[in-house]
Homo-oligomer: A and B are copies of this chain.
Amino acid sequence: MHEPDPETVAQEVFATLADPTRRAILAALSAGGPATATDLAAQLPITRQAVTKHLTLLAEAGLVVAEPGERRRIRYRLDSGPMKVAQQFLAALARDWDSPLAALQDRLG
């Protein structure tokens, strides 16, 4: 279940980060700390249900972690792990593009 393939992790990170609403949710969590879907919906121009859908996608990508709390409330916390994987993926790609020899070595190795 640990999604070991960096490209798969990176792809999910790219797909989730490509949406402005999702980035806004992440920005709100970064600015205000862990929050529930209802809290986030109050700060954004979309409904709670839409926020929940985005949080589900973000959780699948590993960018947020759901933390069950008291009174059936679920708070979401940021996790930078997958983003660091994606960042390394981008760095490796840029290196390959700038150096055909490095790309060849990567494909062989």
Interface residues of A, Cβ cutoff 8 Å to B: 7, 10-11, 13-15, 17-18, 20, 23, 26, 30-31, 33, 78-80, 83-84, 86-87, 90-91, 93-94, 96-98, 100, 103, 107
Contact = CB atoms under 8 A, between A and B. Distances in A.
Report the copy number of this chain in the oligomer. 2
A80 B10 CA distance: 17
A31 to B, nearest CB: 7
Given A11-B17, A11-B23, A14-B15, 20 more contacts: A7-B23, A11-B20, A13-B14, A14-B18, A15-B18, A18-B18, A26-B93, A30-B93, A31-B103, A31-B107, A33-B100, A80-B93, A80-B94, A83-B90, A83-B94, A83-B97, A84-B94, A86-B90, A87-B90, A87-B94
